[in-house]
Amino acid sequence: MFNIFDQNLMIQRMREELTEHGFRELRTAAEVDAALGEAAGSTLLMINSVCGCAAGAARHAFDGARPLGVSEDGVKQYRSHWPQTMAAKPE
């Protein structure tokens, strides 16, 4: 039975859109810390949610920015689906 409130079904394609373009998913605060700690230079951290901002603009903007020199090596997380990744506050 289809459940419109099943977040896994709702965000699966949104997750795939970014991982297909080189983003690495970060689901825990430790994964975020590790990814940002290993980065040399700049890192694009895409906070992907199911709101209109991410769904309608942010994911598509990344594709448009790539010809301008934005690296394909990115990281992402899903704020609304894994709130524990937002638990750690940046220093």
Alpha helix ranges (H) inside 20-81: 29-38, 52-53, 59-65
Active site residue 51: yes
**Distance (Å) of CA 70 to CA 3, 9, 22, 45, 52:** 37, 29, 12, 12, 23
Nearest CA-CA partner of 73 in 23, 9, 11: 23
Select which of 30, 34, 39, 53 is catalytic: 53
Select which of 39, 51, 65, 88 is catalytic: 51
Mind telling me the catalytic residues?
Answer: 51, 53
